[in-house]
Chains A and B, each alone.
Chain A
Amino acid sequence: MAPYLVLLTWAAVALPVVLALSWPVRPLRKLATRVAPWAAMPALGLAALHLATPGALPGAASPVQAPSLFLGMRLGVDLLGGGLLALTAFLWVAAGAYARSYHRDDPRQGSFFAFFCATLAGNLGLVLAGDLLTFYFSFAVMTFAGWGLVVHDRSVAALRAGRVYIILALIGEVAILAALFALGAAAGGGILLGFDLMEAWVALGDRAPLVAGLAVAGFGVKAGLVPLHLWLPLAHPVAPTAASALLSGVMIKAGLLGWLRVLPWGGEVLLPGVGETLLVLGIVGALYGVAVGLAQDDPKTILAYSSVSQMGSMVMGTGLLVLLPSAAPLALGAVIVFALHHGVAKGALFLSVGLADRLPAPPGRGGGGGGGGSEGGGARRSGPWRWGLRLAVVLPALALAGAPLTSGPIAKGALKEALAELGGSWYAVLDPLLLAAAFGTTLLLVRFAVVLEARADDGETSHGSANHGDAASGRDRSWAGPWGLALPLAVLVLAGLLAPVWLVSLVPLPGEGMQATRGGGLPGPLNDVGSALLPVLAALGVAGLFLARTRPGTRPGTRPGTGAGTGLGPGMRGATDQGGPGFLARLARWRIPAGDLLVVVEALLRRRPDGPRAVAWIANRTREAGEALEAAVIRLHARLESRDLGLARGWVVGVLLAGLVLVLSLALGPLLPSRRE
């Protein structure tokens, strides 16, 4: 292997580590912060090389190794990791560039990029990991460094999200560790675990379902598996925009990769229960995410719920992988394609929210202060920006919804083709539900677009945390506009647009429909255009009707019951007149707090601040027992002293010691001679 490849592989992980570590060293901090946005560049180079010459890189068969790091670290790009490496590196570079502008005037810019780099190091480490321990190490580093990104704002909401994030992350870690302990012990032969775990799974025997369940739950926290997703709709939106994009676009996929790496599939060990559970949780998540997401007001929260829903599809694919060995190649390809497609599109959508907050000011609102300089044409000036933003929202949204000619039908088609292998009653149930999910996804994205549109209108009024002082708004709202935000976003949108081309060359899809796609060069199987278009069109129609009937803008009031309503957007905040009598208006007002089930959990905890009664009981009894024990000792001590042993205290010690010596010599004396003989 060429030495430069080895070097590049190491550099991909080492650069972010070095940058994160140099933050505490004050003289290096400035330089590190300047380089940090580009920390994923070596990884991007690695991904490009992998694309250009697959198999040339250090891989599963010949990883680069550092035996002295951890328990013997191995890095490489294998079939599974290759696609995710491309997504990871690409999205981190784009988000880094975006964050560079976004946090230019942020007083905590340095701390943001320190956590950014630490999280990146973990993320790249887990994608490149060539063994299970390296994977777990990196996973944990990413998880705990990610906390710093979540709480970056230091707002009440951010701190709450951070708390929920860390608690669920810890529970996840514990579940993962328990599974890995069992696998490690079952693997025999020592403490090092490669990814080839089948023997260990076989050795686990009856306990395999339990261990697999632990792994499913552990990684499920990261992957937003319902009902472990509680933290996700809180944490993803509250992080700074670039970090939101990363959390929802890439880091969420770490849980997925964890399943693919650890769970047994395509081989001797069959865990139908686990597979079926995943299938059910997947479809539930796909629908549930949409349903709760529709009842949100914040654009980022809507996107977070959309992620929960989209991950549901990938959960289904994973379930199929575990359930049906014959469908494994199809399912694997589908899951990876879906992950990449979703990553790029969701990343772009998140970044668009940050841009909407910082659009150049329309005339008359005085955003640019005196500095803007040029006169007139303000409306036209902000016009192109608005249209650009709309384009950057619509294109990825169409892809996610599954409109033809985008990457959507490829991902969805691949998944459907794989699920079709299930056949029978399973597929009969899943197929219509998938259709419903696709329908819902489109609705959800329409809602996102509407809400964002309103927010862009509101852009001038404070969307607080986004503006870091006057200098920031002054610069960002000058005639040049926020190019630093727009360019990375544009690159991401473009990548999403081209996804049909690169997706199929990056991921080997074994499915027949996909083969045809690759051969014919036409993105998306054309004969499927109808079926792909149907839910999208239906949802657009429904959304349009709904909007028309509830939107306050349609003022005429000629039709009964449409004159007022809260509308779909919070931006129409003037519409407090909740007078709409109809079912639709009521539906439009329907809200669920972000975190959905979390609210129930928190309510339960409020009633019992110390947690469930049993836990509190144990903790309290332990404390009481300990304190009672200590008090008893103190009493004993006091009693000894009060009985006028005061004078004798020195004596007591002395007598004790003298006794010791005596006993020693008495005991040893007679023994020794006999031992001599």
Chain B
Amino acid sequence: MTPLVAWEALPLAVVLSSLVPGIGIMLLGEEAQRARITLNLLGAVAKVVLVGFMLQGVGAGASYAWRFTVLPGLEFSLVGDALALLFVTLSAVLWLVTTVYAIGYLEGGENRRRFFSFFSLCVTATTGLAMAGDLFTFVLFYEALTWATYPLVVHRGTPEAIQAGRRYLVYTLVSGTVLVLGAVWFQVETGGVAFQPGGVVDPEAAAAQPGRYLALFLVLLAGASVKAALFPVHGWLPVAMVAPAPVSALLHAVAVVKAGAFALIRLLHSLFGIEVASDIGAAGIVAVLAAVTILYGSIRALNQDDLKRLLAFSTVSQLSYVALGVALLTPTAQIGGLVHLVHQGIMKITLFFCAGLLAHTLGVKKISQMGGVARRMPLTMMAFTVAALGMIGIPPVAGFLSKWYLGVGAMEAGMPWVVGVLLASSLLNAAYFLPVIRTAYLDATPDRWPSEGDARFGRIEADVRLLVPALVVALLALASGVFGGSPWSPLGWTELIVGRGDL
């Protein structure tokens, strides 16, 4: 099999496919709704198609790289390798669905020009940092992401939203600064910043000065851990819930938190190399932090009445599965961690879509209001149930596959305590998700919903533009589990990454 498209600049095209609509929408007027939607969807579809070409090419053994020399010795590079594509594919596909969802969700709202413009820029930054070929490019997009997301978080303009946005900025800007400092130090220390499978740190140098390298690692970790929502710097995430549902969905599944998790992967695997990282004790620190975060997030999610807040704490917890997996030495665990990047994304976006559907259609935002809601919105709750079961790790939904690889990998690594953490977290997940499901299906339906709009949707339970994306991602979550053995499933692709030594 040969690549259909062997165009080296394909990564750049992928980035531009959302950058151009982003700028274009900003130039269009607020009222130019049709043009805006066209531009947006064109960009989203184009990105999926381009990514599809790249997937096919990389699967066939090709590689894509586009470089531009900023200063002598300082390059801006976009590389489309297998690892980058894992993340890029996730964001491209979910961006397309979320765009459709957002169009339906925000119809008739204000400031849609600003919203959709920054929405596109946000995805641009995400794909950019996914394909960044070196630390410099990575940091550029990483910071850009902060700025692109801020207007989305404060979109509602309420005092609460402004407050949340401010908190978000404080957290991310401070950590961003630390990350930049770390990046500079790394450059000085090692002389190279291009990502390489297996790391760029010289093992002998690290062995000679483990303390120094550990300090360097910790600075970079401090920079990356805020977006990865590691305990104790996760505080911005539950607050940022005030954003509209599509934003939360994208934030939690693709953009910001995934950027943080991806930063951890790059840090552990592409900069230090997992061997060096564990020799100097860095990997162990990440694993312990992740384990603490997993349990902390799960415990905090218990007894939450606000659905989105529950989901936010669930994200805090689930995201650390990724960090935990990639911090272990065995390939099995690394596959589990990496694939959870995708699985968590698909499942969590389903949950947020459903939360948005409930809020948008019926005004239901709290779990205590959800009694019998499954009778009113059966398809929505079916999607929710699939995703929630997946989060707990119940087969055949995708989440189980992550858990299986993580668990076996942890045992291979001789760390039974990790298995203990995983299983305890599963039980906790069940303890906060199952009551929601039970309430929705079995409790009595109230006489009237908090704010059921006048809009009638015919025989369908809600606006199709919201419902179809939710069902699509729920099916994706199911299919990723059921067809886990296929080479084109997230799991299959992850096995390819690790098998090729591309991590």
Q: Is the interface of B mostly helix, strand, loop or mixed?
A: helix
Contacts of B401 in A (CB 8 A): 70-71
Among B347-394, those with CB < 8 Å from A are 378-379, 382, 389, 394
With contacts A185-B412, A672-B71, A672-B72 taken as known, whether A144 is within 8 angstroms of B302 at the C-beta atoms is no
Q: Is A379 an interface residue (CB 8 A)?
A: no
Contacts of B66 in A (CB 8 A): none
With contacts A622-B296, A660-B177, A672-B71 taken as known, whether A191 is within 8 angstroms of B405 at the C-beta atoms is yes
Contacts of B416 in A (CB 8 A): 182
Q: Are A24 and B426 in contact (CB under 8 A)?
A: no
With contacts A637-B170, A667-B188 taken as known, whether A69 is within 8 angstroms of B483 at the C-beta atoms is yes
Q: Are A184 and B408 in contact (CB under 8 A)?
A: yes
With contacts A140-B395, A178-B423, A653-B173 taken as known, whether A637 is within 8 angstroms of B485 at the C-beta atoms is no
Shortest C-beta distance, A204 to chain B (Å), equals 10
Among listed B57-65, B90-98, B179-187, interface-contacting one: B179-187
Q: Are A626 and B300 in contact (CB under 8 A)?
A: yes
Among A129-186, those with CB < 8 Å from B are 133, 136-137, 140-141, 144, 151, 154, 159, 166, 170-171, 173-174, 177-178, 180-182, 184-186
Q: Is B45 an interface residue (CB 8 A)?
A: no
Q: Are B396 and A178 in contact (CB under 8 A)?
A: no
Complex partner residue of B181 from A185, A663, A668, A676, CB under 8 angstroms: A663
Q: Are A178 and B419 in contact (CB under 8 A)?
A: yes
Contacts of A626 in B (CB 8 A): 296, 300
- How many chain-B residues does the 8 Å CB contact rule pick out? 60
Q: Is A429 an interface residue (CB 8 A)?
A: no
Among B126-173, those with CB < 8 Å from A are 166-167, 169-170, 173
Contacts of B426 in A (CB 8 A): 170, 173-174, 177
Contacts of B74 in A (CB 8 A): 668, 672
Q: Is B215 an interface residue (CB 8 A)?
A: no
A186→B407 CA distance, assembly (Å): 12
Q: Are B382 and A24 in contact (CB under 8 A)?
A: yes
Complex partner residue of A181 from B71, B167, B235, B407, CB under 8 angstroms: B407
With contacts A182-B411, A623-B299, A672-B71 taken as known, whether A191 is within 8 angstroms of B404 at the C-beta atoms is yes
Shortest C-beta distance, A222 to chain B (Å), equals 15
Among A576-599, those with CB < 8 Å from B are none
| Closest A residue, CB atoms, query B139 | A664
A660→B416 CA distance, assembly (Å): 43
A668→B403 CA distance, assembly (Å): 43
Q: Are B72 and A166 in contact (CB under 8 A)?
A: no
Q: Are A136 and B184 in contact (CB under 8 A)?
A: no
Q: Are A67 and B404 in contact (CB under 8 A)?
A: no
Complex partner residue of B180 from A69, A181, A664, CB under 8 angstroms: A664
A68→B480 CA distance, assembly (Å): 11
Q: Is B24 an interface residue (CB 8 A)?
A: no
Q: Are A140 and B394 in contact (CB under 8 A)?
A: yes
Q: Is B232 an interface residue (CB 8 A)?
A: yes
Q: Is B281 an interface residue (CB 8 A)?
A: no
- How many chain-A residues does the 8 Å CB contact rule pick out? 53
Q: Are A676 and B73 in contact (CB under 8 A)?
A: yes
Contacts of A24 in B (CB 8 A): 378-379, 382
Q: Are A174 and B427 in contact (CB under 8 A)?
A: yes
Contacts of A140 in B (CB 8 A): 394-395, 400
Q: Is B17 an interface residue (CB 8 A)?
A: no
| Closest B residue, CB atoms, query A72 | B485
B382, B411, B486, B491: most-surrounded residue (chain A CB, <10 A) = B411
Q: Is A1 an interface residue (CB 8 A)?
A: no
Shortest C-beta distance, B380 to chain A (Å), equals 11
Q: Are A667 and B187 in contact (CB under 8 A)?
A: yes
| Closest A residue, CB atoms, query B411 | A185
Q: Are B184 and A668 in contact (CB under 8 A)?
A: yes
Q: Are B235 and A184 in contact (CB under 8 A)?
A: no
Complex partner residue of B235 from A186, A619, A633, CB under 8 angstroms: A633
Contacts of B442 in A (CB 8 A): 151, 154, 159
Complex partner residue of A191 from B296, B379, B403, B408, CB under 8 angstroms: B408
| Closest A residue, CB atoms, query B489 | A68
A476→B232 CA distance, assembly (Å): 65
Among B172-231, those with CB < 8 Å from A are 173, 177, 180-181, 184, 187-188, 191
With contacts A70-B485, A675-B73, A675-B191 taken as known, whether A637 is within 8 angstroms of B396 at the C-beta atoms is no
The 15 sampled A-B contact pairs (Cβ below 8 Å) are: A70-B395, A71-B485, A73-B485, A137-B396, A140-B400, A170-B426, A174-B427, A177-B407, A180-B407, A182-B416, A185-B408, A186-B411, A667-B188, A672-B72, A675-B191
Q: Which 9 A-B pairs have the closest CB atoms?
A: A185-B411, A68-B486, A181-B407, A184-B408, A667-B184, A672-B73, A137-B395, A185-B412, A622-B299
> What residues of chain B have their CB less than 8 Å away from a CB belonging to chain A?
71-74, 166-167, 169-170, 173, 177, 180-181, 184, 187-188, 191, 232, 235, 295-296, 299-300, 302-303, 332, 378-379, 382, 389, 394-396, 400-401, 403-405, 407-412, 416, 419, 423, 426-427, 430, 434, 442, 481-487, 489, 491
New A-B contacts (14) at CB < 8 Å, excluding given A185-B332, A629-B232:
A24-B382, A69-B482, A70-B396, A70-B485, A141-B395, A170-B427, A173-B394, A178-B407, A180-B407, A182-B419, A184-B408, A622-B296, A630-B235, A663-B184
